[in-house]
Chains A and B, each alone.
Chain A
Amino acid sequence: MNRFLLPLGVFAALVALLGVGLTLNPREVPSPLIGKPAPHFELPQLHEPAKTFSEKDMLGKVWVLNVWASWCVTCREEHPVLLDLAASGAVPLYGLNYKDKRELGLAWLKGLGDPYRLSIYDVEGRVGIDYGVYGVPETYVIDKSGVIRYKRIGAVTHEILKGKILPLVQELGRG
């Protein structure tokens, strides 16, 4: 009996290890940008191409940057959550329209509602690369001193909003 215990233990450990592995999401790559200053950008706005917007305009405020595109299916799923966030007025929400066609992006916001204070327009995806974007939608919480404090890859759900983003925004707002 005893001689089966060791292989059985090894087997159980392996099953546990692989089981945990199955619950992890390999698409979620931990971002090295957390705790670092938000990369600099200065991009034209989606609605008013003549005006630009930069992360420096937001120094002194806690804000949320959401990367979206009209071609992104998950963004559609996420959209109602962002509308709720905007309606609550808890934190200023800005959009980064990523590798999109301007008219498609505008039509998307017109049709589904615009949760953003404003969206910036990154047609080449350069700012996207600086922010380590690889799977739209992505969402960043940036603090008063312009440091990225949280990054969400994939859709923001109500659970994540209530459980992570809003508490963090509150905490950062106090500090």
Chain B
Amino acid sequence: MARLLALLLLATAAACASAKDASPAAADPALEHRVMALSNELRCLVCQNQTIADSSAPLAEDLRNQVREKMRQGASDSEIIDYMVARYGDFVLYRPPFKLTTVLLWFGPLLLLAAGAAVLLRRVLRRRPPGDAEMTAAQRARAAELLTGNETERR
């Protein structure tokens, strides 16, 4: 009787285990690796600065399960990404795609850097060393006078 009960318990435990989504370690490790790798590329929409791999929000969990399920069905990474983008838009991607609306996003920092460099260059070129200052004719004459004066004195 006890043995039968134990067997029954075991059977239900096994049924529960398979009904729930398998935990990462127990399941196919290669698949889990792929799930986590792709989940790291997808933004969680509830806690927006986390990936769905990092987030423990229920939606992130659902989306991870969705990714896992799609992979089990043999979907490629890019198919899954398309699936997510179709529902949540480009915002779901941690690496935004390169297109017309994202040009500023991609090149904005470079533009700022170039602008900064241009301002710096202009300022540096404009500022001449003080010794380079232009002299008026009177100053030149005075300088020559002093120089020759010095020369004669020394001799």
Tell me the A residues contacting B by CB distance below 8 Å. Answer: 26-27, 29-33, 99, 124-125, 128-132, 134-135
Contacts and interface: CB of A to CB of B under 8 A. Distances in A.
Interface in B79-99: 85-91
Given A99-B58, A125-B62, A134-B59, A30 B45 contact: no
Contacts of A30: 89, 91
Contacts of A134: 45-46, 59, 88
B66 interface: yes
B128 to A, nearest CB: 17
Interface string B91-122: 10000000000000000000000000000000
Contact of B88 (A26, A99, A132): A132
Contacts, number: 39
Contacts of A29: 45, 88-89, 91
Contact of A132 (B48, B87, B90): B87
Interface of B: 45-46, 48, 58-59, 62-63, 66, 85-91
Given A129-B62, A129-B63, A33 B45 contact: no
Contacts of B63: 129
A67 B88 CA distance: 16
A19 B88 CA distance: 27
B59 A32 contact: no
Contacts of B66: 129
Contacts of B62: 124-125, 128-129
Contacts of A135: 45-46
B87 A32 contact: yes
Contact of B59 (A26, A125, A131): A125
